[in-house]
Chains A and B, each alone.
Chain A
Amino acid sequence: MKVYECCDIESVTKKIYCRECGQEITNEREVPDKGNVYSYTVIHVPPAEYAHLAPYTVALIELHNSNVKLTVRIAGEVEIGDEVELDEFVDGAYVYKKTS
């Protein structure tokens, strides 16, 4: 997964200027798709467009070898700290699964 960095702030989304130094952000690097669950929620009351998925789990993942976090959907139950990996990219969403 590609991440963007400046002044030790890493993000999966590219910003134009760095909020610390004000320079244009040019550093890019690849980090593994794998990570650990940093936190999560189970959504029982979805917006209309995701009603067919409910209840579903959305988690914030901390990717390995970085301080980057990524918001993903996960099949099944998870706990904080669980090891997870990318399963598929569907309709613009990263869908993860627990590493078996």
Chain B
Amino acid sequence: MTVYIQSVGMTKFGKAENSTLKDLMLQAAHEALQKAPGMKIDAVYVGNFMGGSLANQEILGAIVANDLGLGYIPTAKLEGACASGGIALRQGVLGILSGEYENVLVVGAEKMKHASTADVTQVINSAMDRDTSEKHAGLTFPGFFGVLANRYFYETGASKEHLAMIALKNRENALNNPLAQFQKPTTLEEILQARHITSPLGLFDCSPTTDGAAAVVLTSKPTDIKVLASSQASGPTMMQDAIDLLSIPAIRISGEQAYAKAGVGPEDIDVVEIHDCFSMTEMLAIEELGFYPKREGWRAIAEGKTKVTGEKPVNTSGGLLSRGHPIGATGIAQIVQLVHQLRGTAPNQMAKQPRLALAQNLGGTGAYSVVHILERV
């Protein structure tokens, strides 16, 4: 059995003042279904993290099925912090691989902009193990990546400027993506001088709060896009449990498993969407996924190798940093960008149309990682 992608849909990312969580889900799903005419959907999986705590809305799977008139089909919401979307997608893939379903609708969505930063930070902290002295010390989610960044600087030749280069690259990519949240140009100087969030990370090093949704229709019927591999791993849920602070094992293992299933290596991948919840996370992910050696990613960044025009384009959508990060939607939005790249219709379309694409979606401080590899056939 092989799984293919039929179609994708995505809302504008940013502040959707007049849309509810349901509105966003339905808009993205409707767009994807319009490009899947006559296809009977057998199941729905929704990726979402804070619908209950921030929007006071659960039963998202049933709402999607009901309001789209999909019938009495099985549905579920999947939660895996910021990897909720990738995990929902993977459940859809597994549902088809098992032979149970032929066509599955996967939706990722989040509604965050109506809440205060303090409240959102508080809810995001539920993606850490709260039953520990680490939580009581006041470590936050961005704080974890700030601690990593200081250690990375200490052990390598990297500095805040290399993180800024990642943020700038992703912003430049977002400028060409009409669905991206941030479309105002910036400069290295502005990024370096921005206010501190969790030093050394500043405002531009951190992904924003975002409203948005994205959707994918998966099918067992052959199309031009094959899901070559789907893999998932878990990792330490506490910073103090890291064997190597500069390693996120869940990323490395999910990547290794995906390469093994696909029968390809990191050198074969043409275009990448990585989970840059922070600029520092993109730095570690390009190393853990085998694109560059450990503690050497900063050199590749400085040489422009991950730009659209580089040898390994990363986050041509603008990434979480500038496309935006509606938490449950992120893992699906990555797929939307990669499907467009493979079909030759993407913002920042690569000059040579890519054949192999990789998406990596992270949850928590390395608690979950999901990798999908797509192939144009």
Contacts and interface: CB of A to CB of B under 8 A. Distances in A.
Nearest to B124: A47
B146 interface: yes
B121 A71 contact: no
Interface string A70-98: 11110000001000000000011111000
Interface in B213-269: 238-243, 245
Given A49-B122, A80-B150, A13 B238 contact: yes
Contact of A38 (B197, B200, B245): B245
Nearest to A81: B154
Interface in A25-51: 38-51
A80 B154 contact: yes
Contacts of A56: 138
A73 B196 contact: no
A72 B239 CA distance: 11
B122 A43 contact: no
A39 B245 contact: yes
A48 B150 CA distance: 25
A49 B240 CA distance: 21
Contacts of A48: 116, 118-119, 121-122
A70 to B, nearest CB: 6
A39 B243 contact: no
B240 A43 contact: no
Contact of B134 (A9, A46, A50, A71): A71
Residue among A55, A69, A71, A73 with the most chain B CB within 10 A? A71
B118 A51 contact: yes
Residue among B121, B197, B200 with the most chain A CB within 10 A? B121
Q: Is the interface of B mostly helix, strand, loop or mixed?
A: helix
Contact of B137 (A39, A45, A49, A73): A73
Contacts of A72: 137
A21 interface: no
A35 to B, nearest CB: 12
Contacts of A53: 138
B199 to A, nearest CB: 4
Contacts of A71: 132-134, 137, 139, 238-240
A42 B142 CA distance: 10
B140 interface: yes
Contacts of A11: 240-241
A94 B137 contact: yes
B197 A44 contact: yes
A43 B143 contact: yes
Contacts of B132: 13, 71
A79 to B, nearest CB: 9
Contacts of A39: 147-148, 150-151, 154, 245
B243 A13 contact: no
A45 B136 contact: no
B357 to A, nearest CB: 32
A12 interface: yes
A83 B125 CA distance: 29
A41 B122 contact: no
B198 interface: yes
A94 B133 CA distance: 7
Given A39-B150, A39-B154, A42-B199, A69 B242 contact: yes
Given A46-B121, A46-B140, 13 more contacts: A9-B243, A12-B240, A39-B148, A41-B146, A43-B146, A46-B138, A48-B122, A56-B138, A60-B245, A69-B242, A69-B245, A80-B150, A80-B151
18 contacts: A9-B243, A11-B241, A12-B133, A13-B132, A39-B245, A42-B146, A43-B138, A46-B121, A48-B118, A48-B122, A51-B118, A55-B196, A71-B239, A73-B137, A80-B154, A91-B136, A93-B136, A93-B137
Interface of A: 9, 11-13, 38-51, 53, 55-56, 58-60, 69-73, 80, 91-95
